Amino acid sequence: MNELLVDRRDDGVVVLTLNRPDRRNAMTEGMTESWRRAIADLAADRDVRCVVVTGAGNAFCSGGDLSWLAERGAESVPALRDRMLGFYRTWLAIAELEVPTVAAVNGAAVGAGLCLALACDLVYAAEEARLLAPFTSLGLHPGMAATYLLPRAAGVWVAREMLLTGRTLTGAEAASVGLVTRAFPRESLLGEVLEIASRTAANAPVATRLTKVALAGGGHADLDAALRWESLAQPVTMASDDMLEGLAAQRERRAPRFGNA
Ligand SMILES: C/C=C/C(=O)SCCNC(=O)CCNC(=O)[C@H](O)C(C)(C)COP(=O)(O)OP(=O)(O)OC[C@H]1O[C@@H](n2cnc3c(N)ncnc32)[C@H](O)[C@@H]1OP(=O)(O)O
């Protein structure tokens, strides 16, 4: 079975579906390798406008495959360090894509699976989805940038509760504390996300890529850095045909027809 499904839609949206529903889409080495190739392909493809990540079946992703952890073998700490760094970097390469990325958290998002969702630019969850990061109850230090991604998304108090006590949030609770962008009823989640992704994909590609890059990682560190970036990036878009097309479309009350990235 293909553990990662890649669906390229006509509107420039690509849907990546983690596909091990019987194991709640737990990450294996095979899935990780498929992910590495898929992200590299997307990074090189100028026709891609937006990437959606979701899970097959009733879960988003249950994190690292527990059977791999249980059968850890005799690997040394330095060897495990290299392996884990490679694992984290492969999955979090989604954060390096220049196009907007959207997580559709259709069900449980656990540990590294939750971090994968939080590495996306927008995160929408099913209201009843369970979101948790139970590393320490498994005897593990958090990984997959959990100690960075959770406080950044939800603030220190919620992040500490999730990482120290193992608190589980529903999708609705996660939306109310700002851990995710918004929650939808499970049955309408994917439709809503595809609609949002399609709208995002219809915006001017260069302006969208530059905006995504500016916002990645939480935005610029200070006012001056933001002004310096914007005073370079905004003129790039002012000089583009896309801006003329956007203005004409607004004037003529029609949808814009933008060029390629
Ligand atoms: C380096 C990375 C570290 C981390 O990511 S730490 C976090 C590790 N992940 C977890 O601790 C999650 C463990 N799983 C769960 O808590 C639950 O599952 C869920 C909340 C995700 C879903 O619950 P439900 O829908 O009730 O499913 P179910 O009956 O618990 O599981 C169905 C089958 O899926 C297997 N499974 C679930 N998660 C994993 C996993 N992470 N790795 C390997 N297998 C998993 C189960 O064992 C079971 O299997 P069977 O049907 O044979 O009993």
Which structure tokens are listed for 174?
Answer: 């996660």
Q: Which residues pair with 14 in a beta bridge?
A: 8, 51
Q: How confident is the model at residue 247 (pLDDT cuts 50, 70, 90)?
A: very high
Domain ranges of the chain: 4-201, 204-252
Say if domain 4-201 classifies as CATH 3.90.226.10.
yes
pTM score, whole prediction: 0.96
Q: Is 65 in the pocket of ligand 1 (CB under 6 A)?
A: yes
Residue 220 pLDDT exceeds 90: no
Q: Which of 29, 66, 115 to mutate to test the pocket of ligand 1 (most atoms within 8 A of CB)?
A: 66
Ligand 1 site, residue 163, Cβ cutoff 6 A: no
Q: What pLDDT digit, counting tens, does each position of 20-45 carry?
A: 999 999 999 999 999 999 999 999 99
Q: Which tens digits make up the pLDDT trace of 118-139? A: 999 999 999 999 999 999 999 9
**Residue 111 Cβ contacting ligand 1 at under 6 Å:** yes
Contact 114, 153 (CB under 8 A): no
pLDDT band at 219 (very low <50, low <70, confident <90, very high): confident
Strand (E) or helix (H) holding 131: strand 130-132
Provide mean pLDDT across the span 155-178.
98
Q: What one-character DSSP code corresponds to residue 163? A: I
Any atom of ligand 1 within 6 Å of the Cβ of 138? yes
Q: Which pLDDT score is estimated for 116?
A: 98
Tell me how far the alpha carbon of residue 182 lies from the centroid of ligand 1, in angstroms: 25
- Among 22, 62, 89, say which to mutate for ligand 1: greatest number of ligand atoms within 8 Å of CB: 62
**143 CB within 6 A, ligand 1:** yes
Angstrom CA distances, 146 to 14, 49, 251, stand at: 26, 27, 46
CA dist 185 and 187 (Å) reads 6
CA of 24 to the centre of ligand 1 (A): 6
How many Cβ atoms are within 10 Å of 14's Cβ, its own excluded?
A: 23
Cross-strand pairs, 132: 110
- Spacing, Cα 26 to ligand 1 middle (Å): 7
Distance 63 CA to ligand 1 centre (A): 8
Q: Which DSSP symbol is given to 124?
A: E
Give the residue from 16, 19, 15, 29 showing the smallest Cα distance to 61. Answer: 19
Do the strands 108-110 and 122-126 form a parallel or antiparallel pair, or are they unpaired?
unpaired
